[in-house]
Amino acid sequence: MALVLASAPGAASAVENDEPVSADIRTFAGYGASVLGTFEAASGNCGVRVDIPHPSRTTNNQIHTRVESFCQGSAIVDNTITGKSYRSRWYGWEHRRTKTNGPKNIWRIRVTVDVDCDYGSRHRWRTEGYGSGMLNGQPVSASAYEQTDNEITCGANN
């Protein structure tokens, strides 16, 4: 799980335009203190979390990754989460699917990025999560990623 704080408008723009964005922190990224210092996230209690991409146990020939934006104990206004999944290719990462959930005024929002794959195919998978909203009147955003370090096999309800 990775954590990256993104305050630049470029990251949000890239997500909206389906362009790759550098998510440098693996598994979990926290929503940090605002520029006014009005909010300080306790470690692990607020941010973006990305699970490890894995073969679906419920849907044949799919790779699933759950991504969430959350803040325990506080509702995030306009809480929005976007997950982008990629598979490894000889030339680099190939974008396969983007899914977004939100905006909603809620403490936690999730999306499962479900990507079709060919039975028996083997690839490494990477999913990036981008969360944003308003917390205590201040804009917050974070990005994180998770990926498989080894190839996984697509199959029938692995």
For 45-76, what is each residue's pLDDT tens digit?
Answer: 899 999 999 999 999 999 999 999 999 988 99
> Where does the pLDDT of residue 23 fall: very low under 50, low under 70, confident under 90, or very high at 90 and above?
low
- At 7 the three-state DSSP class reads coil
Report the predicted TM-score, pTM, of the whole model to 2 decimal places.
0.79
Confidence at residue 29, expressed as pLDDT on a 0 to 100 scale: 73
- Number of domains composing the chain: 1
10 located within any domain: yes
- Mean pLDDT check: name the lowest of 18-22, 37-41, 154-158: 37-41
41 located within any domain: yes
Instruction: State the CATH number of the domain containing residue 72.
Output: 2.60.40.10
158 located within any domain: no
The tokens describing 41, both together, are: 């996230």
> Where does the pLDDT of residue 10 fall: very low under 50, low under 70, confident under 90, or very high at 90 and above?
very low
Confidence at residue 155, expressed as pLDDT on a 0 to 100 scale: 82
63 located within any domain: yes
Can you give the residue range of the structural domain that contains 108? 4-153
> Where does the pLDDT of residue 30 fall: very low under 50, low under 70, confident under 90, or very high at 90 and above?
confident
CA 144 to each of CA 29, 46, 118: distance values in angstroms, whole numbers, following the listed order? 5, 13, 27
- Nearest CA-CA partner of 87 in 127, 60, 146: 127
